[in-house]
Structure 1
C-alpha cells in the first residue's frame, strides 16, 4: 500500500504545477480529444468529462464503458470543483483521517466521489496571485489510482509541463 502522506505531497505538487495559461471551450475540446485518444491508444475503457464551472464542455465515453461511468465523472468532477483538489487527494485525506465526505464536510456521496480521476482546472493568475479555479476534468473506468495517473500524465503532456509522478 502506498504511503498516504507521501502521495498527498505529490498530489499537491501536481495540483500546483498543472495550471493552464488559457482555458476556454477550444482548449477544453482539444484536451478532451487528447484524453480520448490517449485512452483509445491504451485500450482503456474510460468516460471523460471536462467542465468550466457547471457547464460541460466535453463528454465522451470510449468503447467498453458503462452508463455508471457517466455518474462517476459527474461526482468526481463535483469533488474537484468543490475543493479545488483532485478527487484522489480528497479521498486519501479522508482515508488518513478515517472520515467520510458525509461526516467531515456534510456532502452527499450521491453528489461527490472521493475516488481518483477528478482533477481541478486552474487558470494562471498574475504574478504572486493564486491560480483561479475554473473547472474540472474527470475520468472513470480504471482503478482509482490509475484514473488519477491517466489524467495527470495526459494533462502534463498536453500542457507541456513536467510531472511529479506517483509511484506504484
Structure 2
C-alpha cells in the first residue's frame, strides 16, 4: 500500500474513532481488554492510557523492556502536539522525506513518530488524551491499538483498516 493511501486511511480511522465521553472507568475497561488481548496473543506490550497527562491505565506484559515506557512517552508527545495518531505523523514524514527534529521545533529524544499511539478524541471537545502501546513493530503497534479501539467503540474495522505494508 502506498504511503499516500496509508495517510488517507489513517485520517479515516481518526475521524471514525471518536468518543462521546471518556471516563476513568472507560480507561480501565479499555486497558483491561487490551491487556487480555495482548496476553492471549502472547504479545510483549506496554499499554498506557492517559487523559490530560494523567495516567489512568498502565500495564507491562512479559517480554517488555525498560525502553518500552520511553517509546510510549515519546509517542504520546507526538500525538499531543499534532493531534494525530503517531503512525499518521510517521507516514506523513516518510512521504515528505524529512525528519521530526529540531528543524520542526522538537527534540528527537522527546518525540517518536512511530505507530502505536492514538488520540482519545471526544466529539465536540477535541483531543484530550492517548491510548498507546509499545513492543512490536510500529505498524503492528498501530494495528493493535486501532483494532482495540474499534472493538471498544463498536466500530467495524474492515472498511478503514490499513492494508499490508508495501
TM-score normalized by the length of structure 1: 0.93
1:105-127 superposed Cα distances (whole Å, 9 cap, x missing partner):
211111111010011110112xx
Unaligned 5+ residue runs, structure 1? 126-130
Question: Is 2:82 aligned against 1:83?
Answer: yes
Aligned to 1:159: 153
Aligned equivalent of 2:130 = 136
- Please report how far the alpha carbon of residue 59 of structure 1 lies from its aligned counterpart in structure 2 after TM superposition: 1.1
* Displaced runs of 4 or more, over 2 A: none
Partner Cα separation in structure 2 for residue 92 and residue 23 of structure 1: 28
TM-score of the aligned structures, taking structure 2 as reference length: 0.94
Between 41-50 and 96-105, report the one with greater CA deviation: 96-105
Aligned twin of 1:128 = none
RMSD value over aligned CA atoms?
1.1
Contact 1:78 1:111 (8 Å CA) reproduced: yes
Q: Distance in 1 between matches of 2:103 and 2:27?
A: 32
* 3-state DSSP of counterpart to 2:12: helix
Question: Match of 2:64, SS?
Answer: coil
Quick one: distance in 2 between partners of 1:82 and 1:26?
25
What displacement does 1:99 show? 1.0
Which residue number in structure 2 is paired with residue 147 of structure 1?
A: 141
SS at match of 1:110: coil
Which digits, 9 at most, give the CA deviation of each residue in 1:22-57, with x for residues without a partner? Answer: 101111111111111111111101001111011111
Counting only pairs closer than 5 Å after superposition, residues 28-39 of structure 1 correspond to structure 2 as 28-39=27-38
